[in-house]
Each structure stands twice: as structure tokens, then as C-alpha cells.
Amino acid sequence: MSHALLSSWQKILRQRGQDRAVIEAASGQWVNFCELDARATAWLAAHVADPAALRGRAVVFAVPNGIVWLEIFVALLKAGAVAVPLDAGEPPAAQRRMAELLRAGFWDGGKIAGLAGARRQRDPAICLIKLTSGTTGRPRPLLFTAGQMLADAHQVTATMGIKPRDLNYALIPLGHSYGLGNLTVPLLALGVPLVCGASPLPHAIAADFALWRPTVFPGVPAMWRALAASDLALASLRLGLSAGAPLPPEVARDFAARFGRRLHNFYGSSETGGIAYDPNGQATLAGGVGQPLRGIKLKRLASSQLEVSSAAVFTHGNRRSRGKHGACIVADIIAVDERGALTILGRRGQTVKIAGRRVNLAEVAGRLRQISGVREVWVGVRAESDPMLGAVVATERTVAELRAAMHSDTGAWKIPKKWCVVSALPMTVRGKTDTRALQALIG
């Protein structure tokens, strides 16, 4: 129990051991900090014959948000293992394949399988592997130390003013990068309690708020869109965060009008943790993501790309590491104004060749977003022998109106040929834009 995150956890146990730590809204069950720690110890005793065998070895697990998820996570930390949390919806076969790919053990609900052949990490500070989808669609493992996880949580909570007296509302996955930095590590290292929501449906969210009175809600655009269109109340909400995908400004404005409280955009990546935050909600109303978190350093490169460095950026296998800090070039195209405020313009590496001409997909998407009545946009290439530009647009406007608006100032080769108009872009369970579903819409 030597690394920084466990040391912080021990301090929380001494200071707040009998305080309520985790609530499961669906059942009403709750545990205090000491009870959570005891459950983690009992989990190890019940399921691992030799906890020393876990030291330095990765363990894949997929469990829904709740007390059990946290007891497994704490148990792995206590044993010196490297946690690899997957989405709870991943089927067992997919979990096993991921474990084989990573040369990791696999929690099958009754035992940890495949541990004998698991790779052992030499650095005892490494405690977590995040998986990114990347541009290839093949998951890429990112190894993080306890110190980097702590740095991310401290940067997030210090910038946002989140304190142990707050109550976090947990609907996003606890094992996602967003959930780890905003929910899981603040609980373990700073003593910020959380309530695991019963359901992402608006009425269930409102019922949880009425009963448990959470104050901080890290959500995704789909959740805020549904709430903004409802007639429900969130009386205890102090801070509503939106991340994981771009929040349409119209949703931010509708929410502010409906609840009398602004949402706050939050931007980050798996490689870096949190990057930027809109402290007063003003930038969010216009589609911006705010300013860098405390401890974050940004550098504009000659290529117009943005490099992020901080104590939270991964360093293992990272060629851009500088001493104890890592640095990473983010995948998004980001504009930075004279005050340091950030706006995401699209993804880099989105230039394609169609009919002999180069087309930047982010540029086309940006032009579509300027059309009145357009809420969300995704632009891609229809997969055929003769590639065709396609767009999925969330709007009430017709395709003819969209085409006409673009024809006024856009080259014909930059105007999509395949269109799909929807009420909202499809999202994954993590609240990110579902690119597979979107690609299927354009063929």
C-alpha cells in the first residue's frame, strides 16, 4: 500500500471513515468510507488466493456503477494490481479478448482467470490502464501512475471548486476517463461522496435529485438535451458539467432558460485527463469549452496543433515526456483566443480526397453548423468504390434548404452528396458520438 493514491485513501479513512461515501439510488443501499475499504479487503480474501500474485499485473473487469465496482477497484489498488475497467455492457467474450490482447487477468464474476500468463509491470506506481478507441478503431492501452490520476482529480476539483461537502451524481461510467477524474479519484483521494444514479432517463434523474440532493452532475450532451426538454426540477444542482461530445449551444441555452442555471462545458482526453473548463457558463452558450484547468500548460505548435502538458498526462511509452510531466498533441483542431479561451473546431487528420480534390471534413462540418437551425453535424465519407461525401445533420431544416445555404459560399466538391436529417446524433453509452451508427446512416 505504498503508492500515492492508496496513501490518500488511507488519509480519507482516518478523517472521514464513518461518513457516507457511496449511495446506490436504485436500491437505497449506501456504505461509508470504512465499510467500502472493508468490502474491498473481503473481496480480495474471497476471490484471490494469493493477493501478492496480483502485484503489477493488469486485471480486466466490467461491472455497472455502484458499490461493487468501487470495492473491486479499491481491492485491486490494495493488491498492487493494474486496473483495466471496461464498460459494463461489454459481453464476457469481448472482455476476455481484451484481456488476451493486453496479456491481463480477467474477472469473470467468480474468479480472476488467466492471471498466470499476465504481464507484470515493473513500475509499482502504475495502477490503471485506460483504453482509447483511436483513429484505427483498435483499442490502445494507456498506462497511468497513481500520481497522474491524483493530479487529474486535483486539477479538476480545484478549478471547479468541488469540495468534500459536495455530492457527485454518477451516471457516466466510473471507469471512463471522465468518470475517473471527476468521480472515482475525487471519492478515494479527496473524500467527495457520490450517488450512483438509477437510470439516465429524465424522470429517474429528477427523482434521484429530489431524494438524495446531489450538487455536482458530470453529464453528457444527451442527458442535458433530455432534461432541457422536460418539465422536471433539479433543485439541489450547483454545478452541471457537459463533456464527452460537443454540447450544442441551443441545448445550453434551453437548459439555462428552463432551470435558471447555466451548464459548464468541460473538455479533456484519455491521454491528458481534463484540459479546459468554462467557469461561468458563458462560453458554453456560444459553443466554447472555456479556459485551461489549473496546472495545464498549452503550447501552439508550428503545425497549428495544440500540445497539452501537465502532471496528469501519461508518460509511460510517451516520447513527448519531459521529466515528470507528460505532453500530448490533442486530436482536435482547437482555436485559442487572446484570452486563452478554447473552442473545438473539429478533429485533425480529417482531410480526404474525393474526385481528385482534397476535402477537410471539419471544415465542411463547421460550415454546416453556421446554418440557422442546425444543432449538430457529423460529416464522413460514404464507403463505396467511388467515395462520396456524406453528412448527418440534427435539424428541422430540409436537405434542399441545407444544400441551398451551402451553395451560396461553398465549392460544389465540398457539399455533401449523401444526406441524413435526424432529430439528434446517435450517442454511445459513454455519451460520445456513435461514429459507427453515423457511418451506417450514410452508407
The residue that leads in pLDDT, 440 or 191, is 191
User: Does residue 145 carry a pLDDT above 70?
Assistant: yes
Strands 216-219 and 239-242, sheet pairing: parallel
Residue 135 pLDDT: 43
Where is pLDDT greater, at 261 or 93?
A: 261
| Domain extent at residue 165 | 4-345
**Residue of 114 and 260 predicted with greater confidence:** 260
Same-domain status, 375 and 256:
no
What per-residue confidence (pLDDT) applies to 384? 63
Contact 87/429 with Cβ under 8 angstroms?
Answer: yes
| Residues 136 and 67 reside in one and the same domain | yes
Interval 392-402 mean pLDDT: 94
Q: Which cell is 380 given? A: 464522413
Domain limit, last residue, from 311, 326, 345? 345
The pTM of this model reads: 0.83
- Predicted confidence at residue 58, as pLDDT, reads 96
Which range, 17-31, 50-64, 110-124, 394-408, is most confident? 17-31
Q: Could you tell me if 81 and 135 lie in one domain?
A: yes
* HEC secondary structure over the chain: CCCHHHHHHHHHHHHHCCCEEEEECCCCCEEEHHHHHHHHHHHHHHHCCCHHHHCCEEEEECCCCCHHHHHHHHHHHHCCCEEEECCCCCCHHHHHHHHHHHCCEEECCCCEECCCCCCECCCCCEEEEEEECCCCCCCEEEEEEHHHHHHHHHHHHHHHCCCCCCCEEECCCCCCHHHHHHHHHHHHHHCCCEEECCCCCHHHHHHHHHHHCCCEEEECHHHHHHHHCCCCCCCCCCEEEECCCCCCHHHHHHHHHHHCCCEEEEEEECCCEEEEECCCCHHHHCCCCEEECCCCEEEECCCCCEEEEECCCCCCCCCCCECCEEEEECCEEEEECCCCCEEEEEECCCEEEECCEEEEHHHHHHHHHCCCCEEEEEEEEECCCCCEEEEEEEECCCHHHHHHHHHCCCCHHHCCCEEEEECCCCECCCCCECHHHHHHHHC
Q: Hey, which of 43-57, 112-126, 131-145, 148-162 has the most confident mean pLDDT?
A: 148-162
Percent of the chain residues past pLDDT 70, beyond the cut: 93
Confidence of residue 369 (pLDDT cuts 50, 70, 90): confident
**246 and 383 share one domain:** no
pLDDT confidence tier of residue 116, bands split at 50, 70 and 90: confident
Q: Could you read off the pLDDT of 185-222 as tens digits, one per residue?
A: 999 999 999 999 999 999 999 999 999 999 999 999 88
pLDDT of residue 26: 95
**Cα(58)–Cα(346) distance, integer angstroms:** 34
| Closest among 390, 393, 296 to 336, alpha carbons compared | 296
Residues 341 and 359 in one domain: no
The pLDDT of residue 1: 42
Task: Determine the pLDDT at residue 136.
Answer: 42
pLDDT of residue 3: 80
Query: Based on the structure, what is the number of domains in the chain?
Result: 2
Domain boundary among 345, 372, 399: 345
Least trusted range by pLDDT, from 66-75, 129-138, 289-298, 368-377 = 129-138
261 and 221 in a common domain: yes
Taking the C-alpha atoms of residue 46 and residue 34, their distance in angstroms, rounded to an integer, is 18
> 340 and 371 share a domain?
no
Mean pLDDT across 37-54: 93
Residue 97 clears pLDDT 50, i.e. is over it: yes
Please report, for the domain that includes residue 374, its CATH number.
3.30.300.30
User: Is residue 161 domain-shared with residue 50, that is, in the same domain?
Assistant: yes
Q: What is the mean pLDDT of the chain?
A: 90
Residue 134 in this model has a pLDDT that exceeds 60: no
Interval 417-434: pLDDT, tens? 999 999 988 887 666 778
pLDDT higher than threshold 90 for residue 80: yes
Indicate if 334 and 358 belong to the same structural domain: no
200 and 227 inside one domain: yes
Among 59-68, 173-182, 415-424, 433-442, the range scoring the smallest mean pLDDT is 433-442
Residue 81 vs residue 333, higher pLDDT: 81
Note whether 131 and 140 are within 8 A (CB): yes
Question: pLDDT category, 179, cuts 50, 70, 90?
Answer: very high
CA quadruple 403, 405, 408, 410: dihedral sign: negative
Q: Are both 234 and 382 inside the same structural domain? A: no
Query: Per-residue pLDDT for 325 more than 90?
Result: no
Average pLDDT over residues 238-262: 94
Residue 149 to residue 139: CA distance in whole angstroms: 20
326 and 374: one domain?
Answer: no
**Who wins on pLDDT, 21 or 363?**
21
Q: Final residue of a domain: which of 329, 345, 361?
A: 345
Q: What is the pLDDT of residue 90?
A: 83
CB 5 within 8 A of CB 127: yes
